[in-house]
Amino acid sequence: MKPKKLLQVALGVLTSIGGFLDVGAIATAADAGASFRFRLLWVVALGTLVVIFLAEMVGRLAAVSKHAYADAVRERFGFQFYFWPLLAEFIVDFLVLGAEIGGVCIALQLLTGISFRWWAIPVAFAVWLTAWFGTFKVIENSVALLGLVTIAFVVGAFHLGLPWGEAGRGFIPSAPPQDAAHYWFVAVSIMGALVSPYVLYFYSSGAIEDGWGTRELQVNRLVATVGMGFGSVVQMGMLATAALVLAPRGISIDDYGQVALTLVGPFGLWGFYLFVASLGVTCFGACMEQGLETAYISSQAFGWNWGESKSPRKAARFSMAYTLSIFASSLIMLAGIDPLKLTMFSMALTALMLPLVIVPLLVIMNDRNYLGEHTNGWVTNLAVGLIIGLTFVLALFAIPLEYLGG
Amino acid sequence: MGRRGLAIVLFGSLLGACGPKSPREQIEGRGQSVASWAATAVMIGRTWLQGDVPTVYAQKTLRSAGTQVTSARTSLERSARGEPLALAAIDRYGRLARLLARMAAAVGTDDRAAVARLLAQLPEEAQSIRALRRQSQSGG
């Protein structure tokens, strides 16, 4: 592989790690580790497999057909059909972006003691300023590099002495030891956090912005597999540190203040600051990706001029869409809604919405008009279809049981 | 079981989950959260004394812990109906909430001796709360 291509892969991998981790990954992994030790590692592995398949698919779609994912769904099925996945995505985006802004606000609260509510508007403004003045490349690469701070979770898990046998058994699906409703709710939330449709929309729009063609198919495969794979290892590290620090002490997760202790265990005061940095940086990056993704799907749905690399004057409605989205979602935090509860709810809701987003993708990925000779194989179709279907059915029962059961 | 039977079972379990919680169910459910907050306070107290967490964080999280425990106590008070186990839990939750409030204040004034003294009482409180939870689970 040529040096230029290697650099492209390395940057892509870094971006995927950054894009993979967000408030949902942190909250769901910590809850899983604290409540069930290593028993939910299999869900992280399964979700990673699906998101690798899906990211590779949307990247391939963009490279071969020159269509971003939302653009292709609208064109293939018509606007009347696309309206429903679009509406579902808007609702989920609104909540998830609120949770991501909440993650940055909580990081600032942990650092200063000033309540997260007061940070909602300043954080929204900082996210908006970065999106307004930054280009796609700058945003993508800075988020990716800063996101590497999260490797602290993996180092922490090793530092604490990972019990390999128990961790290994966590990759085999098992029945919950107690509290089955919460076990399945956390499992569904992990899937929602991993298989976030916004990552797919953002990935495919990014591939278009980067001008991918069929030459980049190999890069796409590597970036999707290695990048998402590494991201998953970091999330497993988060789960493991929670399992090793919080579970033995009988600490379950009701508040982000408790999650901060996961890195205090292995690293002391440095661990506290590493946690704050991890939460702040990954959530800030996710805020920008989420805000831009809302603008991408709106623009692609309504046929507006779009592109983060274009100046706001040249893509006015695109810029207006992310501006509105960022400030509207910040209102959730301003209202004082618990960021952790919002995160867990929005991740579970994402899992419920998955079929609406993934089924049209599977149809397009088997359409020769778009993919030519690069259509999906039957193994990919079957694996992704089955896992998404199962997640949907689980979400259908786990969400009401978790909330109505208190 | 046919599809209709399965639907009835699932709907029934959902309806069951919706109903008001008995004091025992509350001790079982929220008791876990209260015990978890007590354990959190122990870890925060110890790490604060070692200088492993900042004062601002320790004080704020201990205050949050106190608020959560008080909320669990208030909710249990509403449904206690004079049940001895519930009354014992209300008493324990109250003691824990007061302990957490004093600890948060001691951290705020950098009174290390007071924090160490209060910290020594926390494991016993946490153990009593866990014992009450076990009692409610076994129906004793």
Name the residue in chain B with its Cα closest to that of A112.
B56
* B52 touching A (Cβ < 8 Å): yes
Give residue B12's pLDDT.
Answer: 53
Give residue A249's pLDDT.
Answer: 93
Give residue A268's pLDDT.
Answer: 95
- Give, as one character, the DSSP assignment of residue A375: P
**Contact between chains at B56 and A113 (C-beta distance less than 8 A):** yes
Model confidence band, residue B1 (pLDDT cutoffs 50, 70, 90): very low
The minimal CB distance from B53 to the residues A255, A264, A405 is found for A264
Give residue A263's pLDDT.
Answer: 96
CA B122 to chain centre: 12
Which residues between 2 and 21 in chain B have a beta carbon less than 8 angstroms from any beta carbon of chain A? 10, 13-14, 17-18, 21
Whether the pLDDT of residue A199 is over 60: the answer is yes
Name the residue in chain A with its Cα closest to that of B40.
A251
**Residue pLDDT, tens place only, A268-310:** 999 999 999 999 999 998 898 888 889 988 888 888 887 777 7
CA–CA separation, A48 vs A67, rounded Å? 24
Q: Which of A231-245, A378-392, B52-66, B96-110 has the lowest mean pLDDT?
A: A378-392
- How much is the ipTM here? 0.86
CA–CA separation, A21 vs A15, rounded Å? 10
User: Which residues have C-beta within 8 Å of that of residue B52, sequence separation ≥ 6?
Assistant: A264, A268, A269, A271, A272
Q: Which residue of B37, B43, B62, B64 to mutate against A (max A Cβ within 10 Å)?
A: B43
Residues of chain B positioned with their CB less than 8 A from the CB of A184: none
Backbone angles phi, psi at B110, to 5 degrees: 60, 35
Give residue A120's pLDDT.
Answer: 96
Give residue B8's pLDDT.
Answer: 55
**Contact between chains at A250 and B126 (C-beta distance less than 8 A):** yes
Q: A211-216: list long-range contacts, CB under 8 Å, 24+ apart.
A: A212/A59, A212/A62, A212/A63, A213/A63, A213/A66, A214/A63, A214/A64, A214/A374, A216/A8, A216/A59, A216/A63
**Contact between chains at A113 and B60 (C-beta distance less than 8 A):** yes
The minimal CB distance from A250 to the residues B18, B39, B59 is found for B39
CA B77 to chain centre: 14
Whether the pLDDT of residue B101 is over 90: the answer is yes
Q: What angle do CA A125, A129, A134 make, to 5 degrees?
A: 155
Is the separation of the CB atoms in A347 and A28 below 8 Å?
yes
Query: Measuring CA to CA, how many Å separate A130 from each of A125, A133, B56?
Result: 9, 5, 29
Whether the pLDDT of residue A127 is over 90: the answer is yes
Residues of chain A positioned with their CB less than 8 A from the CB of B69: none
Mean pLDDT over residues A80-95, rounded? 90
Alpha helices in B19-111 (DSSP H): 23-49, 55-79, 84-108
Q: B44-47: list long-range contacts, CB under 8 Å, 24+ apart.
A: B44/A261, B45/B103, B45/B115, B45/B118, B45/B119, B45/B122, B46/B119, B47/A261, B47/A264, B47/A268
**Contact between chains at A258 and B61 (C-beta distance less than 8 A):** yes
> How distant is the Cα of B82 from the closest Cα of chain A, in angstroms?
23
**Residue pLDDT, tens place only, B44-96:** 999 999 999 999 999 999 999 999 999 988 888 887 777 888 888 889 999 99
Residues of chain A positioned with their CB less than 8 A from the CB of B32: 252
* B61 touching A (Cβ < 8 Å): yes
> How distant is the Cα of B80 from the closest Cα of chain A, in angstroms?
18
Backbone angles phi, psi at A278, to 5 degrees: -60, -50
Residues of chain B positioned with their CB less than 8 A from the CB of A251: 36, 39-40, 43
Whether the pLDDT of residue A265 is over 50: the answer is yes
Model confidence band, residue B25 (pLDDT cutoffs 50, 70, 90): confident
Q: What percent of chain A has pLDDT over 90?
A: 48
Residues of chain B positioned with their CB less than 8 A from the CB of A272: 52-54, 57
**Residue pLDDT, tens place only, A5-16:** 666 666 666 666
* B138 touching A (Cβ < 8 Å): no
Highest mean pLDDT among A87-91, A394-398, B76-80: A87-91
The minimal CB distance from A251 to the residues B10, B17, B36 is found for B36
pTM of the model: 0.89
**Residue pLDDT, tens place only, A16-36:** 666 677 888 999 999 999 999
Residues of chain A positioned with their CB less than 8 A from the CB of B96: none
Is the separation of the CB atoms in A193 and A24 below 8 Å?
yes
Residues of chain B positioned with their CB less than 8 A from the CB of A339: none
Is the separation of the CB atoms in A371 and A365 below 8 Å?
yes
Q: Which of A141-155, A267-281, A304-318 has the lowest mean pLDDT?
A: A304-318
**Contact between chains at B10 and A397 (C-beta distance less than 8 A):** yes
